[in-house]
Amino acid sequence: AVPSLSNPTFMQAHQLATRMGLLPHKRMIVRTIDTGGAGPITSLGTARNMILSGWTDTVAVVASDAVLSMDREAFRARADESVRGSGLPSPAIPHGYDRVAQWHMRRHGVTREQLAMVPAIFSHFAARHPDAMCRRPFGVDEVLASPRVAPVTNVLECARRADGAAALVVASSSHFRRHFGKPLELCPAIVSTGEASGPLYPPAEIDEDLFSCERAARIAFETAQLSVRDIDFFALYDCFPICFLRALEAVGCCPVGDAGEFVERAWRKLSAHGALAPAEFPFNLHGGLACFGAPWEVPAMYGVLEAVAQLTGRAGPDRQIAPKPRRALVYGNGGIFSASAVAVLGDGVY
C-alpha cells in the first residue's frame, strides 16, 4: 500500500491488513511503499521482483486517499509540510513546479500557452470518461483566465484534489493460468520497471540534474529490450503541465526542449477538428491528474488502470485506441520531481 495524506498512519499497509483481518499470517508480507506519487509504479516493480524471486505468487497493490474531503486549509498545511525546508511560498507544491516551468520556459522556449494546452487537451479526454471529475471540455483561454496560483500556473493546471482508491492484483503467469484458466493475453504483463530518484525539492539553481524520469525510462526500456517506438499508449504523470512536458521528452516521444511544440501540434489538430481520435494522441486518455482527479499518491494507479483497459481492449468505444495497443508505458512522479518510476506493460520479454 502507499501512504495516505488525509489519514496518515504508521505503516499504512500493516494498518490496512490488520483491519481486513489478514494479519497475523505466517506467509503474508506487508509493505508500505513511499515514493510519493511514484508509489503505485514502484509498487508494481516491487511486486514483480517479489514474484520473480519466488517469494510469492500474488501481490495486491492498494492505493487510496481522500484529500477532497479534507478541509482546504488542512490540505494546504499538510501538502506544504511534505516539502518542509524548501522555502517555497504556500501552496508550496504548485510553486515548486512553477519554478521548474519558468526555468523550462527560459531554457527551451516553452510558451505560457503551450503549458495551458496540456489540461485543455486532457479536458476533452476526461469528458469521455464516466469517472472523471472534469465533465466539460475547456480551451486554452479558459485555462489562462482561471485564478492564478503561481506566476505561470493557474487553477485549471493543478492536480485536482480528489477522493479515490484503486487496487490491482499482480500474479505470476503460472498462478494466473492455474486459477483463472484464461489466456495470458487477457492480462497484460509487467514487462519491466525502472526507478530513479531526485532531490526532495528543486535546488536554488535548477539544472538538468533535477530530473530522474530519463534514467527510470532508460532502465525500463533496457530491461525490456524495447524502445519508445514499441509503445502504443502512454500514461504520463501530469500533476502540472511541466511534469507532462518533461515526461514526453524523458521517455523519448520528442527531443528535449520540443515538448511544447509537440503538444501545440496536437492542440491545433484538436481545435481544427473539434476532437482527437485516441490513436492521434495516445496519452492519458482517462484525463490525467488535473482532469480525471488526483487523490495524492493514487493517480499513477489510474494511469495503470487506463493502460490495462487499453491493452485488453476494454476502454470502450470513446476511448479505445484502435487497433488495440500491444504495449503501454506508465510513469509515476513523486514529490517535486523527487522520484520517478516507469513500467512497461503488455507483450514483451519477461
| x/- map, 108-147, ligand CAA, by CB under 6 A | ----------------------------------------
Number of residues that bind ligand CAA (CB under 6 A): 23
- 309: left (phi > 0), else alpha (psi -120 to 50), else beta? alpha
| x/- map, 58-77, ligand CAA, by CB under 6 A | --------------x---x-
Identity of the residue, 226 or 239, whose beta carbon is nearer to ligand CAA in the bound complex:
239
Task: Quote the least distance from Cβ 266 to ligand CAA, whole Å.
Answer: 19
**Total residue length of the chain:** 350
Q: Quick one: which segment of 46-54, 198-206, 264-272, 327-335 binds ligand CAA (CB under 6 A)?
A: 327-335
Cα(277)–Cα(178) distance, integer angstroms: 38
Verify binding: residue 160, ligand CAA, rule CB under 6 A: yes
| Contacting ligand CAA within 297-316 (CB under 6 A) | 297
Single-letter amino acid code for the residue at 299: P
Q: How many CA atoms lie within 13 A of 118 on its CB side?
A: 32
Identity of the residue, 100 or 158, whose beta carbon is nearer to ligand CAA in the bound complex:
158
Contact 269, 280 (CB under 8 A): yes
Contact 244, 237 (CB under 8 A): yes
The number of angstroms, rounded, from the C-alpha of 346 to the middle of its chain's C-alpha atoms is 17
Identity of the residue, 284 or 333, whose beta carbon is nearer to ligand CAA in the bound complex:
333
Q: How many CA atoms lie within 13 A of 31 on its CB side?
A: 16
Identity of the residue, 114 or 338, whose beta carbon is nearer to ligand CAA in the bound complex:
338
Q: Quick one: which segment of 169-177, 276-284, 315-323, 331-339 binds ligand CAA (CB under 6 A)?
A: 331-339
Which of 79, 171, 189, 307 binds ligand CAA (CB under 6 A)? It is 79
The x, y and z cell numbers of residue 158, run together, are 493543478
Which of 70, 101, 159, 250 binds ligand CAA (CB under 6 A)? It is 159
Among 190, 219, 216, smallest CA distance to 338 is for: 216
Which of 70, 152, 156, 309 binds ligand CAA (CB under 6 A)? It is 156
Cα(58)–Cα(260) distance, integer angstroms: 41
The x, y and z cell numbers of residue 155, run together, are 487553477
Map grid coordinates 506508465 to a residue: 330
Which residues bind to ligand CAA, rule: CB under 6 A? 36-37, 72, 76, 79, 91, 93-94, 149, 155-156, 158-161, 239, 290, 294, 296-297, 333-335
